[in-house]
Amino acid sequence: MNVYIIGIGLIGGSMSLDIQVTYPEAIIHGIDVSDAHLEEALQRQLIHQKATLQNVENADIVIVTIPVHASIKIIDEVLHTVKDDALVIDAGSTKEQICKSIAAHPKRRNFLAAHPIAGTEFSGPSAAIQRLFEGKTNIICEVEKTAFSLQEKALELFKNLGMRIRYMDPKSHDKHIAYVSHLSHISSFMLGKTVIEKEKNERDIFDLAGSGFASTVRLAKSSPAMWTPIFEQNKTNVIETLDEYISNLQEFKNLMLQDNFEGIYKEMENTNYIKKILKGLE
């Protein structure tokens, strides 16, 4: 089995590690805009050999794990190149634009739109880890538009990676993921910014930071190259979440200005409900 991974970073590299275990016969070909990444991926045994986009004509499976704006162009090209029975999967954090862009593609049935909810704040080949996807959710969009035999092939792969499957339409995916993922990244980046700006001349202040701060600001280490196109593609939904978040923060501030600490207490008490939601998530 010839597997081509386009973009050998955290997601593509981690998938490769598991595929090598569950499909020992698979030959993993790596494609990346960065030759340094490819060399590193070879050294780390994330891939067996380097390849180019033309080579995907030999692919049984192509996994596209690159920033979402690049995906749109590459997936169109890859679909044109692959064999009739090849499966092409993406792993992007936005699904509406990619699904729209290949809706009328003659090879639409070779593509399966996926979003594995897995990752860390790190990126690049060095971030790849084994069993990253174990127990995680994989959202599949427009499954009915993928050829039935290729659906089966993909589901077997995801099962071997240890993932739970959820089906969703691309519009709903982008709307909900803005709340449970994209907004968290912005809140974390802006928290990091606020503290850095304030404390830039007092470096040892960070001695005072504890694990709570570290946890809340962890996502501010994420890759701008990956996240900028996500925010761009999901602009409308993300702005909606930001409006609501800012308005909740302003309301909290107003309660403080009014010395309404009973109100502050209630706000926090109501939000403690998140404990139930998070059960099993950590």
Q: Give DSSP secondary structure letters for 111-167.
A: EEEEEE----S--SGGG--TTTTTT-EEEEE-GGGS-HHHHHHHHHHHHHHTPEEEE
Q: Looking at beta carbons only, is 106 or 210 nearer to a second copy?
A: 210
Quickly tell me which residue has 């202040």 as its tokens. 205
Between 47 and 139, CB nearer to a second copy: 139
Give the residue with the Cβ less far from a second copy, 5 or 186: 186
Minimum CB–partner distance for residue 104 and a second copy (Å): 26
Cβ proximity to a second copy: between 104 and 257 the closer is 257
- Reported as half-sphere exposure (CB side, CA atoms, 13 A), residue 120 has a value of 16
Nearest Cα to Cα of residue 114 among 73, 77, 79, 146: 146
What would the two tokens of residue 88 be?
A: 């092409």
Question: Which residue, 103 or 214, is less far from a second copy as judged by CB?
Answer: 214
Least Å from the CB of residue 49 to a second copy: 32
Q: How far is the CB of 31 from a second copy (least distance, A)?
A: 24
Q: For a second copy, which is the closer residue by CB, 106 or 275?
A: 275
The strand pair at 137-141 and 111-116 is best described as antiparallel
- Would you state the structure tokens that stand for residue 29, as one six-digit string? 């070909």
Round to whole Å and give the CA distance between 112 and 280: 28
Instruction: Tell me whether residue 155 or residue 165 sits nearer to a second copy (CB atom).
Output: 165
Please report how close the Cβ of residue 38 comes to a second copy at its closest, in angstroms: 24
Q: Least distance from C-beta 58 to a second copy, angstroms?
A: 34
What whole-number distance in Å separates Cα of residue 250 and Cα of residue 262? 17
The least CB distance from residue 200 to a second copy, in Å, is: 9
The Cα–Cα gap between 132 and 67 comes to 19
φ and ψ at 141, to 5 degrees?
Answer: -110, 145
Give whichever of 23 and 179 is closer to a second copy, judged by the CB atom.
Answer: 179
- For the CB of residue 66, give the shortest distance to a second copy in the complex, in Å: 16
Minimum distance of a second copy from residue 227's CB (angstroms): 6
